[in-house]
């Protein structure tokens, strides 16, 4: 497979997922919990007088931030201090009192915002609510034209108290200015927890006074000083954001092993770990110095990070070193510990006691959730809803991260559908017939174990309208029947890998072959078997046992194997605004069309007003691919059609190529592509059962523009060494664009002609393999 096989050509992008429409929405993200609007307007003036009843630093910083953002508007509005409340046009009121401290879990973040023709008034119980409301007001001003803001009443508060983003600074170091820029974006999206992943196998990023070799030996010079980390905590606090550090123990400890091998279960000299993956070094629970080490570090972390919550990682433990150590085995016998899981629980219990002594609450990933885990431990789930349900049902507070792993290139709609309350939009299963069919298959992956699938359908196969799919050991989930013909059956659903679509090609009463799309990336299907089962074996709609009172919220994660300071904004923004909406707004808000319409505007708002660098980073990254700078507009234009391969496909390909490590350059075309083509999404938003002449003309003009840019790149490719590698891909794009023009011409002239039928028959397989559907357009122009 060539390098660019991991980049999928998108010609038409049609979303088949259904959604419940809201009666109305504002061009805001996240959407407020409640609002009413009127036809009157408030008129903004170049000098806008404001008055605040608080001199709190957080409020003052919020006003200053609003002022600097207003200056970025074309109208250059400027806030000026009013002499009195009565003379002010913007009034800020705290109804209770400012908290004047670092934010904490369960702080009141509610606010009300009233805009009428005379004034804009923002009221909140404290300064946190004020700055949340100021973010809403900034978006309102940006969204309204002619310096007019529609009269509105907003009552707003968050759905969940924990709304976070994890940034991995251990694998690829992120400079302080990069971290602060993401904090600015988080505040704009109303997120309130920065989970800072500071230690891992590939690097230790925390300056330690008691164990200095951690940052002098195991960081390769890239670490944060205590002054810098305190600065980040203060910066985040003024934005209403808590900072929760992660000290990963007992595994993911190769950096510790390099600096202090005597603390490891296997005491030897360790080389620097630069590859990505799960490694064997584990701290030695039988060595008392290990807990002296952890206690000392907890103390150093506590001096920097005042938040009560402290993340210990605790994930991906390879127990082989423990199992092969006589000292550890003797220790287990002494403490009546039966196995490695019990030892891990014992280790976590000791760490929990050390944290309690410092007034800290322990957090960990799924793997810490074992029998005997202290009930006050917060567990963060990366394994999905089944795990999260068990966590909350057992009495632990839980967080969801599955479905919000934004280091993966996945469409925003997938994250948006990842409702923390899946019972909101669940579909009841119809009663099965007497017999059902069980289809078993295997999806080989490019790295790691195969994925086993079990699809249960109504019988007979050709008339099935409903079914359930189980992947590996997860519970059955209802599937959506996308297309059903005599020759094929296509199903879709969201999985932990991303949007998942499988097409089964039928022969007679059986299945001859199958293919799978994970997001936009094709995978083969193997070992397909079909057997009849009893109707009584038909799975039922899974009812979540989640104890929602124990669900704190969720966290998006940006792991940095394929992310550096040069493309982190491209990977995070603007889709984190939609995830922020999932955490802040009502669970009943599930209209994807509305979300995308707002996201298209938020993308520009994030760039122009908030100062995020997703657009700037793409331009710089693509410019560095070119010898001739005049080609940049064409390369940017062609890039609108492309997305990086979704799921962890690029990670797996790089592993196969021995490029899955810290020194591998991340300077390819795919590294600077937007995660999702919002240009194509915008084209398809208005598509329903049929395309209008206007829509066809708009699409034709866009394709012709792409053709011109593609041809320009092909003309100059011989003198562009970094693009020459992609000549075959560009040639394929040119061919597909030409087919698109022919198809549109056929739709415009005579829908249903032989040429249109020829497209459907001859090119359907090709387009399915590419990940999207020109033949969808073909079908639509018949209706």
Query: What pLDDT shows up at residue 29?
Result: 97
The pLDDT of residue 533 is 83
pLDDT band at 5 (very low <50, low <70, confident <90, very high): very low
Q: Tens of pLDDT along 292-306?
A: 999 999 999 999 999
Pairing of strands 111-115, 510-518: unpaired
Using one digit for the tens of pLDDT, what is the confidence trace for 523-554?
999 999 988 887 666 676 666 788 999 999 99
Residue 230: the pLDDT is 98
Q: What is the DSSP string of 676-733?
A: S-HHHHHHHTT-SSS--HHHHHHHHHHHHHHHHHHHHHHHHGGG-HHHHTTHHHHHHH
**Mean pLDDT to the nearest integer, 732-759:** 66
pTM of the model: 0.92
DSSP state string for 410-455: --HHHHHH--S-GGGS--PPPPP-SEEEEEEEEE--SSSSPEEEEE
Which token pair is 120?
Answer: 């804009």
Cα separation, 312 vs 345, whole angstroms: 13
Q: How much is the pLDDT for 3?
A: 31
Using left for φ > 0, alpha for ψ between -120 and 50, and beta otherwise, residue 513 falls in beta
The pLDDT of residue 301? 98
- pLDDT score, position 537: 67
Query: How large is the average pLDDT for residues 450-459?
Result: 90
Q: Among 177-191, 353-367, 715-729, 763-777, which is the least confidently predicted range?
A: 763-777
- Kindly state the percentage of the chain with pLDDT values over 90: 74
DSSP 588-629: T---HHHHHHHHHHHHHHIIIII---HHHHHHHHHHTT-SSG
* Confidence (pLDDT) at 482: 85
φ, ψ of residue 451 in degrees (nearest 5) = -100, 125
Lowest average pLDDT, out of 58-62, 314-318, 732-736, goes to 732-736
Active-site option among 300, 316, 393, 698: 316
Mean pLDDT within 109-129: 98
The answer to whether the beta carbons of residues 486 and 506 sit under 8 Å apart is yes
CB 348, CB 323: distance < 8 Å = no
C-beta separation of 92 from 130 below 8 A = yes
Question: What CATH number labels 192-374?
Answer: 3.20.20.80
**Would the pLDDT of 96 be above 90?**
yes
pLDDT of residue 475: 87
Tokens of 638: 């062609």
**pLDDT greater than 70 at residue 656:** yes
pLDDT in the model for residue 781 = 38
Per-residue pLDDT band for 458 (boundaries 50, 70, 90) equals: confident
- Three-state SS string across 263-286, please? HECCCCCCCCCCECCCCCCCECCC
Sheet containing strand 78-81, edge to edge, reads 34-43, 148-156, 111-115, 120-124, 90-94, 47-52, 78-81
Q: Is 316 an annotated catalytic residue?
A: yes
Count of CA atoms in the C-beta half-sphere (13 A) of 46? 3
CA separation, residue 373 to residues 242, 298, 361, 366 (Å): 25, 19, 13, 11
Q: Note the CATH number of domain 34-156.
A: 3.30.379.10
- Model confidence at 432: pLDDT above 80: no
Can you tell me the mean pLDDT for 13-25? 36
CB atoms within 10 A of CB 534: 10
Give 558-595 pLDDT, tens digit per residue: 999 999 999 999 999 999 999 999 999 999 999 999 99
Question: How do beta strands 309-311 and 361-365 pair?
Answer: parallel
pLDDT > 70? residue 692 = yes
**Looking at residue 538, what is its pLDDT?**
67
pLDDT at 457: 86
| Average pLDDT value for residue range 247-268 | 97
484 against 89, higher pLDDT: 89
268 with 333: CB under 8 angstroms? no
pLDDT at 675: 93
Domain boundaries defined on the chain: 34-156, 192-374, 427-537
Q: Computed from CA positions of residues 607, 611, 613, 614, in that sequence, does the dihedral angle turn out positive or negative? A: negative
Long-range CB pairs of 503-509, under 8 A, 24+ apart, other chains included: 503/768, 504/439, 504/528, 506/461, 506/462, 509/460, 509/461
Task: Output the average pLDDT for the chain.
Answer: 88
Paired sense of beta strands 521-524 and 510-518, if any? antiparallel
Cβ neighbourhood burial of 706 (10 Å; 0-12, 13-18, 19+)? buried
Tell me the pLDDT tens digit for each residue of 120-135: 999 999 999 999 999 9
Mean pLDDT of 214-240: 97
User: Of the given ranges (154-158, 424-428, 673-677, 701-705), which has the lowest mean pLDDT?
Assistant: 424-428
Cβ atoms within 10 A of the Cβ of 749, count? 10
Average pLDDT over residues 745-751: 68
């Amino acid at each position: 497979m060539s390098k660019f096989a991991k980049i999928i050509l998108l010609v038409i992008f049609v979303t088949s997922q259904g959604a419940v429409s809201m009666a109305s929405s504002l061009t805001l993200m996240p959407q407020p919990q409640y609002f009413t609007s009127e036809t009157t307007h408030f008129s903004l003036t170049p000098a806008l007088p404001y008055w605040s009843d608080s001199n709190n630093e957080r409020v003052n910083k919020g006003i200053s931030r609003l002022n600097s953002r207003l200056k970025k508007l074309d109208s250059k509005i400027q806030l000026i201090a009013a002499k009195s409340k009565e003379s002010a046009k913007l009034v800020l009121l705290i109804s209770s009192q400012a908290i004047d401290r670092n934010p904490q879990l369960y702080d009141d973040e509610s606010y009300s915002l009233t805009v009428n023709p005379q004034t804009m008034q923002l009221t909140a119980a404290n300064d946190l609510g004020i700055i949340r409301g100021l973010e809403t007001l900034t978006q309102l001003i940006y969204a309204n034209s002619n310096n007019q803001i529609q009269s509105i009443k907003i009552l707003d508060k968050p759905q969940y108290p924990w709304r976070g983003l994890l940034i991995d600074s251990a694998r690829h170091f992120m400079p302080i200015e990069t971290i602060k820029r993401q904090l600015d974006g988080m505040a704009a999206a109303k997120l309130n927890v920065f989970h800072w992943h500071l230690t891992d196998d590939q690097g230790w990023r925390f300056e330690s006074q008691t164990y200095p070799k951690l940052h002098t030996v195991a960081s390769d010079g890239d670490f944060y000083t205590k002054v810098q980390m305190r600065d980040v905590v203060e910066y985040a606090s003024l934005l209403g954001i808590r900072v929760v550090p992660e000290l990963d123990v007992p595994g993911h400890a190769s950096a510790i092993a390099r600096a202090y091998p005597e603390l490891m279960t296997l005491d030897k000299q360790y080389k620097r770990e630069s590859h990505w993956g799960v490694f064997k070094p584990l701290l030695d629970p039988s060595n008392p110095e290990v807990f002296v080490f952890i206690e000392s570090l907890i103390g150093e972390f506590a001096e920097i990070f005042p938040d009560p919550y402290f993340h210990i990682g605790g994930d991906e433990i390879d127990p082989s070193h423990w199992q092969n150590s006589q000292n550890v085995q003797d220790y287990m016998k002494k403490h009546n510990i039966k196995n490695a899981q019990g030892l891990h629980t014992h280790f976590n219990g000791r760490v929990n006691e050390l944290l309690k002594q410092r007034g800290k609450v322990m957090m960990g990933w799924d793997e810490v959730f074992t029998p005997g885990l202290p009930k006050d431990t917060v567990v963060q789930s990366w394994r999905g809803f089944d795990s999260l349900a068990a966590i909350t049902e057992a009495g632990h507070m839980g967080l969801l991260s599955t479905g919000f792993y934004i280091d993966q290139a996945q469409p925003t709609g997938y994250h948006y559908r990842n409702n923390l309350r899946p019972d909101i939009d669940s579909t009841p299963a119809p009663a099965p017939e007497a017999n059902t069919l069980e289809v078993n298959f295997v999806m080989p992956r490019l790295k790691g174990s195969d994925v086993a699938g079990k699809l249960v359908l109504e019988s007979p196969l050709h008339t099935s309208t409903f079914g359930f799919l189980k992947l590996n050991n997860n519970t059955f989930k209802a599937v959506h029947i996308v297309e059903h013909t005599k020759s094929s059956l296509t199903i879709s659903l969201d999985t932990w890998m991303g949007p998942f679509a499988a097409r089964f090609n039928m022969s007679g009463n059986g299945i001859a072959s199958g293919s799978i799309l994970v997001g936009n990336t094709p995978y083969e299907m193997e070992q397909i078997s079909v057997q009849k089962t009893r109707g009584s074996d038909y799975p039922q709609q899974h009812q979540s046992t989640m104890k929602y009172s124990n669900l704190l919220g969720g966290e998006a994660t940006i792991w940095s194997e394929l992310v550096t300071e040069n493309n982190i904004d491209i990977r995070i923004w603007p889709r984190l605004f939609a995830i922020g909406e999932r955490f802040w707004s009502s669970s009943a808000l599930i209209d994807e069309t509305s979300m995308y319409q707002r996201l298209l505007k938020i993308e520009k708002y994030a760039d122009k007003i908030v100062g995020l660098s997703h657009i700037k980073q793409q331009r710089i990254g693509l410019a560095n691919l070119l010898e001739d700078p005049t080609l940049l507009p064409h390369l940017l234009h062609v890039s609108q059609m492309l997305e990086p391969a979704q799921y962890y496909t690029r990670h797996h390909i790089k592993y196969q190529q021995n490029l899955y490590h810290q020194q591998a350059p991340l300077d390819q075309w795919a590294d600077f592509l937007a995660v999702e083509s919002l240009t194509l999404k915008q084209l398809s938003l208005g598509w329903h059962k049929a395309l209008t002449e206007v829509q066809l003309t708009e699409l034709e003009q866009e394709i012709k523009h792409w053709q011109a840019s593609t041809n320009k790149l092909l003309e100059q490719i011989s003198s562009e060494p970094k693009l020459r590698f992609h000549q075959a891909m560009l040639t394929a794009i040119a061919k597909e664009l030409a087919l698109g023009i022919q198809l549109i011409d056929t739709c415009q002239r005579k829908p249903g002609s032989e040429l249109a039928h020829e497209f459907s028959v001859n090119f359907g397989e090709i387009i399915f393999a590419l990940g999207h559907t020109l033949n969808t357009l073909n079908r639509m122009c018949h209706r």
